[in-house]
Structure formats: C-alpha cells, structure tokens
Amino acid sequence: MNRFKEEAMRAVFFIAACVSILAVVTICVFMFANGIPAMAEIGVFDFLLGTEWRPGNDIYGIFPMIVGSIYVTAGALIIGVPIGVLCAVFMAKFCPDKVYKFVKPAVDLLAGIPSIVYGFFGLVVIVPMIRNIFGVSGKGVLTASILLGIMILPTIISVTEASLRAVPESYYEGALALGASHEESVFFTVVPAAKSGITAGVILGVGRAIGEAMAVNMVAGNQPIIPDSILSGVRTLTANVVLEMGYAADLHREALIATAVVLFVFILIINMLFALVKRKGDK
C-alpha cells in the first residue's frame, strides 16, 4: 500500500512539473511566434533603436522605453538596495527580539500589498511631494524609482536576512576572538560571507522592478521619449504594453507582443545571472 502511495505521488509531482514546463513553453512559443515576425516587418534595428513610437503612422521604436526601464530600475536599486541590505543586517544581527516580532511581520506585509495599492500611494503621496519640492508635474523617473525602491524592499530584505542567518556562527565568534567588535564582526566577516545570497536578493529585486507595470504606469508620466533628467516623464516596456494592448490591432498589436519579447529576454538574462550567482555561491 505504501509502495502504491509513493508511486502515485511521484506521478502527481511529475505531472505538475510537466504542466509547469508546458506552460512556460507555450508562453514562449506564443510570444516569439507573434513577436519575431513583427520585428522582421518593422526592422530589428528600427524597432530596438528607433526613438519614435507613433502607432498611427506605423512607426514603432521602443528605444525610449528600453532606456526608461533601465533608468527606473537603476534608480530603484540605488534607493532600495542600501536600505534593504542594512535593514536585513539590523534584523539578523542587531534587532532585539521584542522589536523583531513587529518588524518581521511588517516586512512580510509589504510583500503582500497589491501593486495597485502601491500605485495609489505613489500617486497621492510621492507625486505631490516631488511636485512641491521641484516644481514639476511630479510624474517621472525619480517618482517611479522611489516607488519601485519601496516595492523591492521585501524581496531584498527577506533573501538577505536568510543569507546572513545561514552563515555559520563560528565566523562571527572567530572574528570576536581575534579582537573585532560586534559591528566589525558583522560587517567585515558575516556580510562578506553572505555576499552570494545578498547578490541573489538584489537580482531578484531587479526582476521585480523591471517587470512591474501597474504601479509604474500610475506615476511615471507615460511619455514615450528618452528622459533628459530624473524629473522627466518616462514610459517603461511594461507600461507600454499595458497602456495600448486593449485597443491595439494588426501590426500595432504584434509590435506590443514584440515589446513583451524584449522584456522577456531581459527577465531571462536576469534569471541566468541569478542561476550563475547561486551556482557560484554553492561551490
């Protein structure tokens, strides 16, 4: 009987794995089958390096959206990574137990907040703040970067904290035995030992930032131009698809799918980097 149960569960797990693989393959086939022909019709270089997006004139250049995605993601990392890593270090090595009981659930709650709620927060809090400080519309690269920086915090904090707690306690105790202080032992021994896990958390944060659509759509300004400052309006690859897919048809629709293909390639590169970092850390 136990043998039968084991074989049955093995079959269930195998089917679940096959379904997951089939779903990924189906999505890839659909995207590339519809996106690649559109790139060929528009012209690969015209599509990737074109600076104008005017569907009404059959002009499809996504370079401003590529630049916008890179700018916003880079800004989110500049804001989110230092805060996230330092918060994780505090939670793992400095936080009293009584405080940890409140901080940990708060971080977990951040991960569960829907994107649309983050977008509303950015629209009613961050946008007016930027408008009052700089005297601009408030929607732009800086606003989107701040919002995304907040959104990637749970990912970076959780992965970094887990990596820090996985470092053997003997590393910390050895540093203390050599005369280092508590702070020196943490920042010069424990943190470097957890660098592969910290890097993995940052890469996962990049994936979350570059793939976010709804929240960015509400605060970025949605201007398909190359931004000339951090206060300029910007449109990301994800926002471009969300804004126009509802009414797009023919070549316009295929160009949006091709935009999703470019985004998919970016995400694939990020996942490959994560795999390489994880493999290096396991050695």
| Spans in the chain with pLDDT lower than 50 | none
How far is Cα of residue 216 from the mean position of the Cα atoms in its chain?
Answer: 12
Q: Chain centroid to CA 155: how far?
A: 9
Tell which CATH classification among 1.20.1290.10, 1.10.3720.10, 3.90.1300.10, 1.20.120.80 matches the domain 64-282: 1.10.3720.10
Instruction: Kindly state the DSSP code that residue 221 receives in the 8-state scheme.
Output: B
Long-range pairs, 116-123, Cβ under 8 A, ≥24: 116/214, 116/215, 118/147, 118/150, 118/151, 118/215, 119/147, 119/214, 119/215, 119/216, 119/217, 119/218, 119/219, 120/218, 121/147, 122/146, 122/147, 122/215, 122/218, 122/219, 123/218, 123/219
Q: How far apart are CA 60 and CA 42, in angstroms?
A: 7
- What is the per-residue pLDDT across 220-264, written as a single tens digit (0 to 9) for each? 888 888 888 888 889 898 888 888 887 877 888 888 989 988 888
pLDDT for residue 1: 65
What pLDDT score was predicted for residue 160?
A: 93
Q: pLDDT value at position 138?
A: 85
